[in-house]
Structure 1
């Protein structure tokens, strides 16, 4: 989620975009959490017929987050890879630990009458691994503990995989060229990986599409008005027509969507509005913490046996959402920014 070294306009578009992506994921988990606490389980398949657009919103948000990472790091050439990973750790770890610690305290609170410390330390390791392993086991005997924060840290497993692959990717990029590398990876994903594991194929492809979108503006130009219309049409298609976002056949549509943004599309100025740009700064906090807000709200309603009609439930949820956004702007200001600055400092153990 770094901003990179692009022009101010490019940064503003990406930051504004990040807010909408985080919001889309939050709305998806809003629906899933409601379903979970009302006895329908945490299942996309159960809810797909009734809530296809909302489910596709969540998946599309994650897909574009992956593409942004590929876009930002396509041309990376760090002087020190140790320094690079130092910055990544300082960017990812602080809010990750905040989210995990809150999950642990909530699990303790919920399990106080049935406290089980078996395998606690083994479980704790996975909850404090910065998302590298991608596994979140039960806490204190609480099954589905990963749902306390909506299980969002699974995406960090793929982000770290991308970061760890970059040294090799950079060597190959410099040897055969970026476009040749992009073509090779996409070919492997489509024809060799997707037949056995379509999700893995599309996740890897998303990072690769980001690199493609970084390169294409050097070759072709599309008028901004066409880009904006293209964004609207591709988003509408992916939300309302596509049966499933994580489907290899829709890669060209998702690629077009982000390419339109990379070539100047800003949704008729919407992505550059200052309010959305500022909220986009806090998108990582919003992404990692929104599940706690929905889970806490629904658990409180359940424990206290509060009966809310649809209107009152929506009003309460809206208030919770606004509180969440305020809280996340504070975590960005007082947690994320200081640690990002720390990550840019010279490391005392490295030769400068």
Structure 2
């Protein structure tokens, strides 16, 4: 029996939406947002990456080779969703910079917010990863302790210096489904924001430009050293910045929300995910960029992306993206050996993980992510000099 990829995709999205609908009553109504449809999109993108990695696992179990699935759809669900994530990052921060014209940007607060947004849950994921390594290695030290500590440090640095095997456990990166690679590009984009702001006509202090250049150089050198630096992954960021300018045209925004535009949006998404074996070909990338432009302009797929369920999934999208690999590994290798399963049994097991994943990420958002983000102002205030703190009280600044 072949892997039922379409049924798995539809099943995962449906079950997750149902779970989020039930959980939505435990969260306050979402506040107004300039890109509400994009907020609803993020959770579904993370779930499509989960579906993609299920297909990767289906090929990995009998062969031991972690590689792209042969199916065009299953392959592009991963690459295409991450490309759209990159576009979202560029759109949101490009929008902030454009809105800030003529206002000072609080770079320290922006840096603190990014650290508190990405780091706490990442540390939770790393704690889970280290625990899995200890379980798989039988709780015994299989490599010299200094090497284990050095390798663990490389993982803790968002794996920018690479993803080494930990304590002799081969292919440690499989435990997280290899998702950490994309965070290198996220951090590089954040590091480049002062230079991007200057390119948009914003005045930026020399110290922030220097810090930005040093951080970019460090990330670039470490990524190049590990052969992780791929310039093609910068294309979605540029597309997101272009869309950021496009959605400022009222005529485009008005037309993007009509029914004809929705049909065009569905066609562009189908083209982006199915037209070529690889989304970084010109045609699918242009199609995804076009679809993203319509979504950013407010097309919400007949209201689906503005629903409370979609917005709830969107809030936990980072957790869905970061933690699903750990669950897949726990099921496939720790709790049971899935190598003898039929395609139907494998698909049902992946569907059974969805409520667990959604519930876990909902709890992680409420207990880890949201409290961390609520401390941004307090953490920023502690890092300021007393003189600068007093000046901020009398001067409005972009946050």
TM-score relative to the length of structure 2: 0.75
Match of 2:333 among 271, 275, 299: 299
Q: Distance in 1 between matches of 2:256 and 2:287?
A: 18
Q: Distance in 2 between matches of 1:16 and 1:210?
A: 17
Q: Deviations over 1:216-257 (max 9, x none)?
A: 122342241233112200111122222201234543222111
1:72–1:9 Cα change, 3 Å: closer
* Aligned residue number for residue 181 of structure 1: none
Match of 2:93 among 73, 96, 111: 73
Q: Distance in 2 between matches of 1:18 and 1:268?
A: 17
* Aligned residue number for residue 8 of structure 2: none
Q: Distance in 2 between matches of 1:259 and 1:59?
A: 18
Q: Distance in 2 between matches of 1:243 and 1:311?
A: 25
TM-score relative to the length of structure 1: 0.84
Q: Distance in 2 between matches of 1:70 and 1:307?
A: 43
* Aligned residue number for residue 293 of structure 2: 259
Alpha carbons 2:75, 2:277 under 8 Å: kept: no
Match of 1:55 among 75, 78, 81: 75
* Aligned residue number for residue 156 of structure 2: 128
After superposing the two structures, state which structure 1 stretch, 35-44 or 94-103, moved more. 35-44
* Aligned residue number for residue 54 of structure 2: 30
Q: Distance in 1 between matches of 2:115 and 2:33?
A: 27
Q: Deviations over 1:149-186 (max 9, x none)?
A: 1111100000000000111111111179xxxxxxxxxx
Q: Distance in 2 between matches of 1:203 and 1:142?
A: 29
Does 1:87 find its partner at 2:113? yes
RMSD between superposed Cα atoms in Å: 2.4
Question: Any stretches of 5+ residues in structure 1 without a counterpart?
Answer: 1-5, 177-196
Q: Deviations over 1:167-214 (max 9, x none)?
A: 1111111179xxxxxxxxxxxxxxxxxxxx9x8333212112112112
Q: What secondary structure is seen at the aligned counterpart in 2 of 1:174? A: coil
Does 1:319 find its partner at 2:352? yes
Question: Any stretches of 5+ residues in structure 2 without a counterpart?
Answer: 1-29, 204-226, 390-399
Q: What secondary structure is seen at the aligned counterpart in 1 of 2:201? A: helix
Alpha carbons 1:201, 1:248 under 8 Å: kept: no
1:281-300 counterparts in 2 under 5 A?
281-300=315-334
Match of 1:96 among 106, 122, 144: 122
1:338–1:68 Cα change, 3 Å: same
* Aligned residue number for residue 186 of structure 1: none
Q: What secondary structure is seen at the aligned counterpart in 1 of 2:366? A: helix
1:190-205 counterparts in 2 under 5 A?
200-205=230-235
Q: Distance in 1 between matches of 2:83 and 2:339?
A: 36
Match of 2:271 among 223, 237, 245: 237
Q: Distance in 2 between matches of 1:109 and 1:86?
A: 34
Alpha carbons 2:89, 2:240 under 8 Å: kept: yes
* Aligned residue number for residue 146 of structure 1: 173
Alpha carbons 1:26, 1:291 under 8 Å: kept: yes
1:134–1:156 Cα change, 3 Å: farther
Aligned residue pairs total: 321
Alpha-carbon distance, 1:57 to partner: 0.8
Tell me which stretches of 4 or more aligned residues in structure 1 moved more than 6 Å. none
